[in-house]
């Protein structure tokens, strides 16, 4: 298994990082996980052709994780892709398709079959992939309830397994507790280093020897602790570096 982090930046754009996106190559398949703004350009820079991707997975509907999906689909359409594409969405797939149509991007015009799935069902399509709900969106409950929005607050972390080795991508999480079982099963973890409390991540680092790749920015407290306490099994994500598991 190998993976390339295309975007490791936080939700607030900066001039040094791209927004959340990574390519995971496993079991002979190529997955694009999350689609922050600019991911279509990054795919071109890597030299991936129109038929490279087998599936696209969106962990949750924050713009820094999904805004680039529209351009990826338009690019594949304009390039003339014919190979079917599996698309996994965290919630409200029909509403997403309506938004695609609002932008005059109609799947009926694609030369390829776009198969849309709910992310919770990913394992039935790809047995090597497990999606686990996390707590990242729970803080929106008050405004959702107040204004009767239809958002079910579905955000997912992912685990990919090949040859008895498991890579976990936390995506954005509120706490490590919400995906404890997933983290404990991992050989390598791409971990959100910005949203969870620094103390919680530090405790995990001290109690586990699991390889951690910290992404999505980093809290000042965690950054300072790592500078004072270097850990051989912990590293900051490097965009466009190829990692192996």
CATH of the domain at 107: 3.60.15.10
- Find, among 215, 240, 158, 201, the residue nearest to 10 by Cα: 215
Q: What is the mean pLDDT of residues 202-210?
A: 97
pTM: 0.97
Determine the structural domain holding residue 106 and report its residue range.
Answer: 2-244
Q: What is the pLDDT of residue 48?
A: 96
Using left for φ > 0, alpha for ψ between -120 and 50, and beta otherwise, residue 119 falls in alpha
Q: What is the mean pLDDT of residues 98-105?
A: 97
Render pLDDT for 179-200 as a digit per residue (tens, 0 to 9): 999 999 999 999 999 999 999 9
Q: How many domains does the chain fold into?
A: 1
Using pLDDT thresholds of 50, 70 and 90, give the confidence band for residue 107.
Answer: very high
Give Cα 218 to chain centroid, integer Å.
17
Beta bridge partners of 8: none
Q: Count the neighbouring beta carbons within 10 Å of the beta carbon of residue 165.
A: 13
- With 0-12 CB in 10 A as exposed, 13-18 as middle and 19+ as buried, what is 146? exposed
Q: What is the pLDDT of residue 193?
A: 97
Residue with tokens 């972390």: 157
Q: What is the pLDDT of residue 217?
A: 95
Angle at 196 between CA 193 and CA 200, to 5 degrees: 100
Render pLDDT for 231-240 as a digit per residue (tens, 0 to 9): 999 999 999 9
């Amino acid at each position: 298994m190998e993976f390339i982090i295309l975007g490791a930046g936080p939700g607030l754009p900066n001039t040094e990082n791209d927004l959340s996106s990574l390519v995971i190559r496993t079991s002979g398949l190529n997955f694009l996980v999350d689609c922050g703004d600019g991911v279509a350009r990054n795919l071109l820079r890597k030299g991936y052709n129109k038929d490279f991707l087998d599936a696209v997975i969106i962990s949750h509907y924050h713009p820094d994780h999904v805004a680039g999906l529209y351009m990826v689909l338009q690019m594949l359409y304009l390039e003339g892709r014919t190979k079917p594409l599996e698309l996994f969405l965290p919630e409200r797939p029909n509403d997403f398709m309506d938004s695609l149509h609002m932008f005059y991007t109609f799947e009926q015009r694609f030369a390829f079959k776009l198969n849309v799935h709910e992310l919770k069902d990913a394992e039935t399509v790809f047995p090597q992939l497990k999606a686990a709900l996390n707590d990242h969106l729970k803080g929106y409950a008050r405004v959702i309830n107040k204004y009767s929005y239809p958002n079910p607050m579905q955000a997912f972390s992912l685990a990919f397994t090949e040859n008895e080795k498991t890579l976990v991508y936390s995506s954005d999480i509120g706490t490590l507790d919400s995906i404890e079982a997933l983290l404990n099963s991992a050989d390598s973890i791409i971990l959100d280093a910005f949203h969870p409390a620094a103390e919680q991540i530090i405790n995990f680092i001290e109690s586990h020897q699991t390889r951690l790749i910290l992404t999505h920015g980093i809290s000042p407290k965690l950054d300072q602790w790592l500078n004072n306490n270097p850990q051989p099994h912990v590293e900051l994500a490097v965009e466009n570096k190829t990692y192996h598991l």
